[in-house]
């Protein structure tokens, strides 16, 4: 079966750095997305990785290792508004999106 | 660009009634649209894939006669929850994939919160 694992919840301090991991076992791989979802709102796109390595975009970076079936989202200089759920989603061999359950990130002052 | 709207944003209805939710791509055409449901503290669950001019493809366990999907134009898909029950209360989110692009490139609407009393 297809499986995506993320921690259920993480807590971090304002101004700090946090890394949210995502491991996947899917039938094929055609890319991995990270989305941010605030409570009661729809997901918003953060990043898309299809090649190995680190993609940096402002305070957010996303890393992918296809051989390890592993990705992480790195958030720097955390702000209170970063409190949200972070969803990892993988595009499988049929070009379907397989969603992780999401990681709820709690930022404390 | 790539804006998707949903209407209504929230709706409260009585058990046994039907509710229609609209999903519109405002500045692009979308051959394919997706309908998701999300229960509190859970991830998105794909309900169905809607293709313009053809029948929707429903995920396993989703009743097609209860969740009617119509994708009559390249900018509009509708989801009708028929004979709604309290267990149908959820956050319904649509997404749209621009025509000509891979369908995993999806733009999400803001969601519709349905409460059935």
pLDDT of residue B41: 76
Residues of A whose CB is below 8 A from B115: none
| Low-confidence stretches of chain B (pLDDT beneath 50) | none
Question: Residue B100's pLDDT is what?
Answer: 84
Distances (CA, A) of B85 to A22, B73, B109, B112: 35, 29, 24, 16
- More confident site: A97 or B96: B96
User: Is B104 close to A100, i.e. CB distance below 8 A?
Assistant: no
Whole-number percent of chain A with pLDDT over 70:
100
CA distances to A16, A17, A72 from B76, in Å = 43, 41, 35
Measured in degrees and rounded to the nearest 5, phi and psi for residue B87 equal -70, -10
The pairing of beta strand B19-25 with beta strand B4-7: antiparallel
Q: pLDDT grade, residue A47 (50/70/90)? A: very high
Q: Is the pLDDT of residue A18 over 80?
A: yes
CA distance to partner chain A, nearest, from residue B73 (Å): 23
Burial class (CB in 10 A: 0-12, 13-18, 19+), A57: exposed
CB within 8 Å: A42 and B110: yes
- Hey, are the CB atoms on A42 and B104 less than 8 Å from each other? no
Q: Is the pLDDT of residue A97 over 90?
A: no
Q: Check residues A97 and A6 and name the one with the higher pLDDT.
A: A6
Best residue in A43, A89, A90 to probe B by mutation, most B CBs within 10 Å? A43
Can you give the pLDDT at residue A42? 86
- Report the residue of chain B nearest A41, measured CA to CA: B110
When pLDDT is averaged across residues A7-16 and rounded to a whole number, the result is 97
- Given this model, what pLDDT does residue B53 score? 85
Residues of chain B contacting residue A3, judged by C-beta atoms under 8 Å apart: none
Cβ atoms of A37 and A103 closer than 8 Å: no
For position A95, what pLDDT does the model report? 79
Q: Choose the weakest-confidence range: A27-31, A69-73, A91-95, B17-21.
A: A91-95
- Residues A61 and B104: their CA atoms lie apart, in Å, by 21
pLDDT band at A45 (very low <50, low <70, confident <90, very high): confident
Q: Does A1 touch chain B (CB under 8 A)?
A: no
Identify whether the C-beta of residue A25 lies closer than 8 Å to the C-beta of residue A34: no
Average pLDDT value over all residues in chain A: 94
Instruction: Give the mutation candidate from B25, B38, B43, B109 for the A interface (greatest A CB count, under 10 A).
Output: B43
């Amino acid at each position: 079966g297809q499986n995506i694992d993320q921690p259920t919840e993480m807590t971090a301090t304002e101004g700090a750095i946090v890394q949210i991991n995502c491991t996947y076992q899917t039938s094929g791989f055609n890319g991995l997305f990270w989305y941010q979802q605030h409570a009661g709102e729809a997901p918003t796109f953060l990043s898309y990785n299809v090649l190995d390595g680190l993609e940096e975009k402002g305070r957010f970076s996303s890393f992918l290792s296809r051989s390890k079936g592993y990705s992480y989202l790195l958030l720097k200089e955390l702000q209170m508004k970063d409190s949200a759920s972070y969803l990892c989603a993988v595009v499988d061999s049929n070009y379907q999106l397989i969603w992780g359950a999401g990681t709820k990130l709690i930022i404390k002052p | 660009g790539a804006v998707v709207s949903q209407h209504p944003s929230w709706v409260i209805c009585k058990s046994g009634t039907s509710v229609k939710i609209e999903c519109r791509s405002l500045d692009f055409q979308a051959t394919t649209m997706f309908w998701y449901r999300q229960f509190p503290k859970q991830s998105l669950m794909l309900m169905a894939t809607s293709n313009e001019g053809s029948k929707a493809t429903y995920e396993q366990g989703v009743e097609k006669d209860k969740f009617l999907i119509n994708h009559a134009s390249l900018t509009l898909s509708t989801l009708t929850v028929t004979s709604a029950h309290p267990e149908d209360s959820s956050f319904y989110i649509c997404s749209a994939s621009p025509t000509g692009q891979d369908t995993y490139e999806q733009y999400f609407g803001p969601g519709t919160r349905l409460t059935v009393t």
